[in-house]
Structure 1
Amino acid sequence: MKRVKTDVLVIGAGSGGLSVAAGAAQMGADVVLLEGHEMGGDCLNYGCVPSKALIATGKAAYGQKNSARFGVADAGGVVDYAAAKDHVADVIATIAPMDSQERFEGFGINVIREFGTFISETEVQAGDTVITARRIVIATGSSPLVPPIPGLETVPYETNETLFDLREAPEHLLIIGGGPIGMEMAQAHIRMGCAVTVIEGSKALGKDDPELAEVVLSTLKDEGVVIEEDALAAEIRGAAGAIEVEAKDGRVFKGSHLLMAVGRKANTDKLNLEAAKIAPTRNGIEVDDSMRTTNKRVYAIGDVAGGLQFTHVAGYHAGVIIRSMLFGLPSKAKTSHIPWATYTDPELAQVGLTEAQAREQHGKRLEVVRFHYTHNDRAIAERKTKGFIKVMVVRGRPVGASIVGYQAGELINLWALALANKMKMSQIAAMVAPYPTIGEINKRAAGAYFSPRLFESGMVKKVVGFVQRFVP
């Protein structure tokens, strides 16, 4: 058995773990990085990257089929499903060198391609190596949650970890789960020529503002996606090519393939947390505001910490713990300024409080301002006028923003900046946006906040009248 001592041990080479390892090593710490599966983690290999690549294929096909409105004859938009998966693989391969073992070894990091298991509060075993570390970071991420639905064990099914290896297009894809992953894959596959039925036990896109979610859901329905809500899966039966899902209320849905997209579970099974005196939770690992576990030498970041499950959150957590771990400075993670997006067409994006949350928290102090894409000249030129923005404002400061529409995931960045830095609406209104851009929507939303104050105010009109009469 080999023994290694290090300053920082990182368990997991996904986005959060890689950020910690690279940052710590480049700042002078001795770092060991463990990864028993794929470098780059879920995001690169099974999540964000391949899903967005497949969505791009769907968009290209849809664009060919719906180009007449631009003066270009509609075309077939026929998709070669295997070639589309080659495109996905090429995108992954293009990005992979940034997350590779060789690159991180170039930073001076000792990369060990084994899973890590705690054997004490300060020691982790990885294969035939025992690592003793002053600080340990658990960044093991999450995996697809597969609920124990009767019959599922006898029926072939896909998850996000297997879907992108499928080479033949599903004739009829059944998707259990109407969250972001389910809806993104539903639209991508309907645009690639597959029939798609989404089976959701509650409400599709139920964690988003329902007014905005309805814009996305109505679009998907118009494109041919069948969305069955309040359809809790009670039994699954059949075989490859002929699968049936029966809901608790007796509805039966038939298809050729099944995708499970009901959520994620934290990867803690291999860690032996008890040996390190680390307390688990139902959703992962118990952490405080500084991302420390109940073992103060050990941090947990990203999905395994049981909070918001987004790649950018893991990266944010990495920055939080590097501050305290390397420099001994106080540093706490917050969630109020964390944005997220669902990459359907139209996109759905959120940061801070939704309207319902803001009303509950701020009551009559809340003002909600809106601006619709139909009033944006670039959106009109691009034929992308479906959607709107809502900004929740309290005493001149935004506390949340919700956007549905073209490039919503890009537009939300400005509001994330505003919330992170406690900016005022006046600062957003002072921005000059180039014309014509979709980004003008943000400035016009800020303008919508001030318009009643300027154009409907009796005092403003009196001041203007006084100046026009008496000031030379």
Structure 2
Amino acid sequence: MARDDIFDIVAIGGGTAGLVTAAGSAGLGARVALIERDRLGGDCLWTGCVPSKALISSARVAHHFRDAAAHGLRAVQPEIEGADVLASVRDVRAEIEPHDDPERFRAMGVDVVEGSARFISPHEVEVNGRRLRGRRFVIATGSRAAVPPIPGLEEAGYFTHAEAFDRDTIPGSLAVVGGGPIGVELAQAFRRLGVDVTVVELLDRLMVREEPELAELLTNRLLDEGIRIRTGRIVTRVERVGERRRVTIAAAGGASGNGAAAAPETFEVDEVLVAAGRAPNTEGLGLDEAGVATSKGWVTVDAKLRTSRRHIFAAGDVTGGLLFTHVADHEARTVVQNALFPVRANIDYGVIPWCTYTDPELAHVGLTEAEARDRHGSAVSAHVYDIGNLDRAIVERAAVGRVKIVVGKGGSILGGHILAPGAGTMIAEIALAMKAGVKLGTLASLVHPYPTMSEGVKRTADAYRRSTLSGWRKAAVDLALRVGRSMPA
């Protein structure tokens, strides 16, 4: 084997985890190969974060046209041409694409190899007949949309987020199968672009990983915008009827809420969008030949992100953990340290914020109130501030929203949850406080610019401080007030 085909680290997969691994390792002087079978950038650039947020932005503008009367302007029904909207989304994607261009990585010293990799031994992979040998490997092949085995679905036709942005048209009506972040984001975006939308969710509420009261507020907002929502329902069949699809749903488990047999519900739509979970991209990698263990297709890793082969690491969605771009970045940074240097670190998932980019946004870090009470018992308290009372929300005509912060003994922050415009940015303040061990009372003393949405965090901290004024603390305050009144002016 030629020396040029021997590397310090070989990254398999050119999404976020692979790109960060390659760039970070090359920047430290390592010899790096990066293998990608399709296009660098992965799901985030091509079919996920970037195009979906561009579509959401277009949809928000359309919504503002209709909602202009709330701002003292004449409301306008926007003229929406689906092909133009989707072309605009692709233009945005093309503007960001150079960030992940193969030549940019080659300029860093990375050997970018195009093709599908397969392990032929624990220390070698083959790509289009070329063998690459590595001291360390990183499996970063990501995930894809999972498609449930719904009778008739394949024959009737459907699309996932992977196809949503390379289409020529926007459908007139749409059934969204799945009420998680992807399904809810796209449901609202398409609804605001004039699509008649029905969301079908197997569980009893949308956004089941989120704080229930905030998820309920968001659900009500979606209902107000005209989205039909069917929770606790399963799609039992999809049939092609001419150019349309007939969707049949029934109560999950086959019974209605009173235990009686549930009558199926049938409706017709132009198209079906499947957003019902993820599946790992591990087929064809030769993981058995490498001795890499998996669980239901997901690559199994330890706290240092090592697989069952200690010289082979995995990062990003393929591990089946928290399936977010920023988590893939975080994992890749840990892998670079652990793969290249003798001092190794455990991955830290203690403070991982995330956000669903609906309007308003729904952001989350740490534990929900129920999770915190399960772990920490009666020491837990929760403190809430309604965004509708905030001056900035009032002037923005954005009355729907809430901040909820969950604390433990002594005011240590266990979790933060925000439903508000810009919640994805606001949650960083709470995440930083958790990471640095800053208690909630301290956030009440932090000066926030006025008027901003971030004051919602301060107001929630104020509510916590007021809650602590009981017992001896309240007695001390009362005594200080009495002494103050007796002092001369």
Structure 2 residue 352 is the aligned partner of structure 1 residue 351: no
Q: Which runs of 5+ in 2 are unaligned?
A: 252-263
Residues 24-33 or 400-409, more deviating = 400-409
Partner deviation per Cα, 1:215-254 (whole Å, 9 max, x = no partner):
1111111111111112211211115631012124522131
Determine if contact 1:15/1:314 at 8 Å carries over to the other structure. Answer: yes
Structure 2 residue 379 is the aligned partner of structure 1 residue 377: no
Partner deviation per Cα, 1:15-43 (whole Å, 9 max, x = no partner):
11101100100011000000001210000
Distance in 2 of aligned mates of 1:255 and 1:377: 42
Determine if contact 1:359/1:366 at 8 Å carries over to the other structure. Answer: yes
Partner deviation per Cα, 1:123-176 (whole Å, 9 max, x = no partner):
111112111101100111101101221112211211111111121220111111
Over aligned residues, Cα RMSD in angstroms? 1.7
Distance in 1 of aligned mates of 2:22 and 2:178: 34
List aligned pairs for 1:438-457, cutoff 5 A: 438-454=453-469, 457=474
Residues 430-439 or 328-337, more deviating = 328-337
Q: Residue 392 of structure 1 aligns to which amino acid in structure 2?
A: V
Q: CA offset at residue 453 of structure 1?
A: 3.0
Q: Among the aligned pairs, what percent are the same residue?
A: 39
Determine if contact 1:197/1:228 at 8 Å carries over to the other structure. Answer: yes
Cα–Cα, structure 1 residues 471 and 18, in superposed 2: closer, same or farther, change >3 Å?
A: farther
Determine if contact 1:231/1:248 at 8 Å carries over to the other structure. Answer: yes
Cα–Cα, structure 1 residues 459 and 240, in superposed 2: closer, same or farther, change >3 Å?
A: farther
- Please name the residue that 2:169 is paired with: 168
Q: Residue 12 of structure 2 aligns to which amino acid in structure 1?
A: I
Out of 405, 424, 430, the position equivalent to 1:409 is 424
- Please name the residue that 1:242 is paired with: 244
SS of 2:165's equivalent in the other structure is: helix
Structure 2 residue 477 is the aligned partner of structure 1 residue 460: yes
Q: Which consecutive segments of 4 or more residues in structure 1 shift more than 6 A?
A: none
Determine if contact 1:34/1:111 at 8 Å carries over to the other structure. Answer: yes
Determine if contact 1:156/1:240 at 8 Å carries over to the other structure. Answer: no
List aligned pairs for 1:20-35, cutoff 5 A: 20-35=21-36
Distance in 2 of aligned mates of 1:404 and 1:241: 39
Distance in 1 of aligned mates of 2:423 and 2:297: 29
Determine if contact 1:244/1:252 at 8 Å carries over to the other structure. Answer: yes
- Please name the residue that 2:143 is paired with: 142
Determine if contact 2:367/2:415 at 8 Å carries over to the other structure. Answer: yes
TM-score by length of 1: 0.97
- Please name the residue that 2:257 is paired with: none
List aligned pairs for 1:297-308, cutoff 5 A: 297-308=311-322
Q: CA offset at residue 432 of structure 1?
A: 1.0
Partner deviation per Cα, 1:409-451 (whole Å, 9 max, x = no partner):
1111111112222221233223211111111111221121112
Q: CA offset at residue 76 of structure 1?
A: 1.3
Structure 2 residue 22 is the aligned partner of structure 1 residue 49: no
Determine if contact 2:363/2:424 at 8 Å carries over to the other structure. Answer: yes
Q: CA offset at residue 9 of structure 1?
A: 0.3
- Please name the residue that 2:438 is paired with: 423
Distance in 2 of aligned mates of 1:461 and 1:240: 76
Determine if contact 1:16/1:315 at 8 Å carries over to the other structure. Answer: yes
Partner deviation per Cα, 1:244-278 (whole Å, 9 max, x = no partner):
12124522131011111101111101211111111
Q: CA offset at residue 468 of structure 1?
A: 5.0
Q: CA offset at residue 345 of structure 1?
A: 1.0
- Please name the residue that 2:199 is paired with: 198
- Please name the residue that 1:366 is paired with: 380
Q: CA offset at residue 402 of structure 1?
A: 1.0
- Please name the residue that 1:436 is paired with: 451
Q: Which runs of 5+ in 1 are unaligned?
A: none
Distance in 1 of aligned mates of 2:276 and 2:488: 67
- Please name the residue that 1:266 is paired with: 280
Cα–Cα, structure 1 residues 393 and 240, in superposed 2: closer, same or farther, change >3 Å?
A: farther
Distance in 2 of aligned mates of 1:468 and 1:235: 75
